[in-house]
Amino acid sequence: MRAGRTKPNKWLTAQELHAHLNTSFSMSFLEELVSQTQDEHGISVNDLHLTESQPLDQGFAIFSKLHKIFRTEESIYLLTRSVIKEFAEDNVKYLELRSTPKEIPETGLTRDVYMQTMVRAVHDCEKEGLDITVRLLVSIDRRHGVEIAKIAVDLAERWMKSTKGLVLGIDFSGDPKVGDATDFIPVFLDAAERGLKLALHLEEIPLHEETKNVLRACCGHCTIRIGHGTYLHRYEPNEGHEEIEDLVVKWKIPVEACVTSNLLSKTVDRPGTHHFWYWRSKQHPVILCTDGKGVFGCLLSDEYSKVAKEFSLGREYLVNYALSTFDTIFECDEVKQRLKDNLKQFSEKEQIAFPS
């Protein structure tokens, strides 16, 4: 298991925009937490990560087990701090961390306490002087329906205002085989009107009609990134779904590409066919991400290394690519430029390692 280890040299990474809190643990952290609480839930640490290619359904089964572990204020706080520190150790300079706030009466956890706990962990990491900027997204789990999604938008807006922008928007995720994203379009539009940005899991599996409906309704009205987007361009000619790719290109909607996650989930068969390069060849914004570095056993630097080797990308290309990804973050131009300037200076230092 590779997540949580630190490379001997600093590798070039830039920012992580698709990190689910509950699946971004390190194994050392999880082993300690599980050993303290295993009598309560009967879960072994070996049950909680993918070590070989497995279908997407098995991944969601693991996610359900993790929810049984991260169910107290203390566990959420410790997890958030640990995840932030580990991304900082992997030279990630900007992190958008997403999670679904939960109501668990038996542990005293409410949605507001959940958000307060994550925000507290971010502030404590800032006080420690970690060289990473962290922002939060409130996740909507499509399995929970529209009414719960509305509560999540209210929560996100409230915390966006109270934290002066530390909370930036919402994430729409969950098992893509459950429900229809079309039903959530009014929720997305309402969130955008309130100033929230949208990170939407779309086309993780081939769901062309719901994707077309969402993009038709939201393009031009919302600030969007697409999570995974594995099947955005994978349609049969003349079946009427070319419009999806046309909308993505027209509105320059960034795609969050999770290479290792897609390979292990079997939505992509090998690195060379991953859609990262499809969108890069079109000069379209696509950002390397981990999805859940604990479950999928990868660091962000591993993702950079994997595509660099697969597509023979050199140092200059990687630096320019990493700098370009800052244009896709849910932050203002001033923050984007500061991050670019910092990465330029950092990339000139001798300790930066690149795939050979």
User: Which residues are known to be catalytic?
Assistant: 204
DSSP state, residue 221: T
What is d(CA 12, CA 326) in angstroms, rounded to the nearest whole number? 14
Q: Which contacts of 32-40 are long-range, i.e. CB under 8 A and separated by 24 or more positions? A: 33/69, 33/75, 33/78, 33/79, 34/69, 37/69, 37/75
What is d(CA 194, CA 196) in angstroms, rounded to the nearest whole number? 6
Closest by CA position to 205, among listed 179, 232, 240? 232
The token pair at 253 is 């909607």
- 172 phi and psi, to 5 degrees? -110, 115
Residue 339, CA distances (Å) to 50, 87, 91, 342 in order: 33, 16, 12, 5
The token pair at 58 is 């098995």
Query: What one-character-per-residue DSSP string does 146-199 give?
Result: HHHHHHHHHHHHHHHHHTTSSEEEEEEES-TTSS-GGGGHHHHHHHHHTT-EEE
What is d(CA 166, CA 116) in angstroms, rounded to the nearest whole number? 12
Asked whether 285 and 256 are in contact (CB, 8 A), the reply is no
